Amino acid sequence: MFTRLTQYKGLAALLAAIVLAAAGLIYALTPPAVKKEQVPMYQGKRNIMVLGVDRRIDDVGRSDTLFVAMLDTQKNRISLLSVPRDTLVKIPGHGWDKVNHAYAFGGHALSQKTLEGFLGIPINNYLLVDFRGFVDLVNAIGGVDIDVEKPMQYQDPYDDNGGLVINLQPGRQHMDGTTAIQYVRYRDEEGDIGRVRRQQKFMQAIFAKLRGTNLVTKAPEIAQALYKSVETDLSAGDLLSLLVTFTKNVSGTSRLETAMVQGSPAYLDDISYWIPNMTALRQQLALLSGVQATETYRQKALAAKREYDELLGTNSAAAGADGKQQLPIKTEAMKQAVERTRKMEQESKETPAVSPSTENDKPQEPVGMPPQPVRQPLRVSIVNCSEKPQNGERAAEEVRSAGFTVVSTSTGSPVDHTQVLINASSSLAASRAQSLPFAYQLLRGSVSPATGDMIIYLGRDYEK
């Protein structure tokens, strides 16, 4: 996962997708200079890739947020498909890896090519989005109404150029751009998947606001803010025309459908992936686009599933279906994929993300927020199963130095390998465990609150 300063880009991507998709519902875009080969059942549709990018110093960056806006002007239909950034895909020229690494390997062109192969549909246009215009875009439409489903508090002093503070109370409320950032950036125990669901809820609210007829006079302001925050093969004039046409003509029966790539979470050698269910995904795409799947299309979906089956050495549709779990690596191709992903993620940790502020900007204190608390450390119990009594306290010192709170140490039956047990649903614990200063096997199950957020079983391999 790439946690620092990445969500802003995703936020702008959300808004760009909505603005473009809503406008495109009424106005057929001019085809690009290079005409794409159409899948027959998708002729007359327009699919637009929206990338939110995590830019980094001396590095092209990775895509943090990925959507496909599917437009059908004849049927007055808009659909948005979210692609989780951990989705396992084949990247042309690079092999199997997470979909968000395609941008690092070859920019938006390779991301687009990867997405076309993965989804089996043509991508006609792209929008590459940075974070800077997000607040202006939300404010340009007069804010948005969101029903916050639960209390949302989070503090990270190392994020957001001086400290990320999220403090939202439950209930329906009107949000400006600054408050909307908090809602869409919030991460809970569901990790990226929960964040995708909140992003889709945010999209629905934006779409409802854009349908208001009073937005006609604001179209130039919105288009200008949007164009400043995106790189695209669409002109500024196209965007303005789309917005004006949409706000004048969209009907009350128009609707926005949102979905996420069907699949399941899984871990392979402690690397998290989203394993797509290819037959369900292709059927999902047909439903979202309002088309009838042909026999040829179904056969291609089955062929895509078989490719994943061969990669994983098992039924890909069932992999991880019982919740996040550690899957064994059964093939050389999957071993290479995991090594490739691990290398990319390590490089990301070593390369600082570009700050959203300029060199002369100073970190700003959040307005109206409580004093910044220190991020609560995870609570850890240590069970020494290494047969070396001194290892218990030695490990406790290392764990404390890594930012954890040790709630207990004890001795257990000998085991060969060090293991870390976390709750199956806790993506936060899995992420924080990566900072442990020793090798371990990650296990997912049930951890009692009395023992903390994770249990470390020290094996004979500790300190070898």
Q: What is the pLDDT of residues 201-211, one digit of tens each?
A: 888 888 777 77
Residue 136: per-residue pLDDT: 72
Residue 210: per-residue pLDDT: 74
**Residue 162 counted as domain residue:** yes
**Residue 217 counted as domain residue:** yes
Model confidence pLDDT, tens digit, residues 426-445: 667 777 787 888 888 887 76
**Residue 85 counted as domain residue:** yes
Contact (Cβ atoms closer than 8 angstroms) between residue 132 and residue 228:
yes
Residue 133: per-residue pLDDT: 61
**Residue 166 counted as domain residue:** yes
CATH for 70:
3.40.630.190
Residues 256 and 385 in one domain: no
Token pair belonging to 318? 């069932």
CATH for 449:
3.30.70
**Residue 285 counted as domain residue:** no
Residues 389 and 251 in one domain: no
Q: Comparing C-alpha atoms, which of 14, 26, 46 is closest to residue 219?
A: 26
> Which residue among 245, 261, 277 closes a domain?
261
Residue 395 structural domain = 379-458
**Residue 360 counted as domain residue:** no
Model confidence pLDDT, tens digit, residues 340-369: 999 988 776 555 444 344 333 433 433 344
Residue 355: per-residue pLDDT: 39
> Which residue among 206, 228, 261 closes a domain?
261
Residues of the chain whose pLDDT is less than 50?
Answer: 1-12, 20-38, 56-61, 162, 245, 248-253, 352-375
Residue 218: per-residue pLDDT: 67
For the chain, the domain total comes to 2
Residue 49: per-residue pLDDT: 92
**Residue 374 counted as domain residue:** no
**Residue 331 counted as domain residue:** no
Residue 439: per-residue pLDDT: 86
> Which residue among 261, 293, 321 closes a domain?
261
Residues 255 and 395 in one domain: no
